[in-house]
Amino acid sequence: NAGVTQTPKFQVLKTGQSMTLQCAQDMNHEYMSWYRQDPGMGLRLIHYSVGAGITDQGEVPNGYNVSRSTTEDFPLRLLSAAPSQTSVYFCASSSGGVNTEAFFGQGTRLTVV
Amino acid sequence: AQTVTQSQPEMSVQEAETVTLSCTYDTSENNYYLFWYKQPPSRQMILVIRQEAYKQQNATENRFSVNFQKAAKSFSLKISDSQLGDTAMYFCALDDYKLSFGAGTTVTVRA
């Protein structure tokens, strides 16, 4: 059981480039989310999805797009990378609702130069 | 709006001793859950303990226990008999309909 798989683990982008961070889960979870982790700020919610075809913005959505065409996949797109998007990104999934444990991917360290 | 505040950026503890991490939160919801997650240097997020807001009894998991004070909106984590493997960053998290995290506390266990 792979759980939540994030790719890539590391990425360096030039300012203005676009890329997609991939996230896949094999637990049939309805709820998926993306966070960014910055020093001293914890994990901040970027976007989340409560099921296929449904997405919503979190705390820091600007500069990011998401889609949820299947239950398994929840990619995060950076449209035009900026140095302020240098961060560690985590994808998480849960079965939905309050109290359900969130399972996290291993994280992606992104550097924008 | 919901906020989670961890006021201790760093804590250091001697092996086998006890350390307590503080967390306060704010929510307008009556039904919610609280979590402590551990993030070791490997970067993996690991659930340590959870607490249901409607339960008055404090949760315990082996050497980890919480002190949940609902009226004060306080949720502290106590690590007893600290081990070197407990060295990590610890995040307090609130889940009322979205999962929100505090800034984290780095715990270092000294041999």
Least CB-CB distance to B47: which of A35, A90, A101? A101
Query: Best interface-test mutation with B: which of A23, A33, A37 has the largest number of B CBs within 10 A?
Result: A37
State the pLDDT confidence band at B99, using cuts at 50, 70 and 90: confident
What's residue A56's pLDDT?
Answer: 94
Stretch B96-100: mean pLDDT, rounded? 83
Q: Is the pLDDT of residue B1 over 60?
A: no
Q: How many Cα neighbours within 13 Å face the side chain of B29?
A: 17
Residue B2 reports pLDDT greater than 60? no
Is residue B26 predicted with pLDDT exceeding 70?
Answer: yes
Per-residue confidence band for B56, with pLDDT thresholds at 50, 70 and 90:
confident
* Separation in Å, CA B103 to CA A95, B9, B10, B22, B35: 25, 8, 11, 12, 14
Question: Which residue is closest to A93 within chain B, CA to CA?
Answer: B99
* Percentage of chain A exceeding pLDDT 90: 87
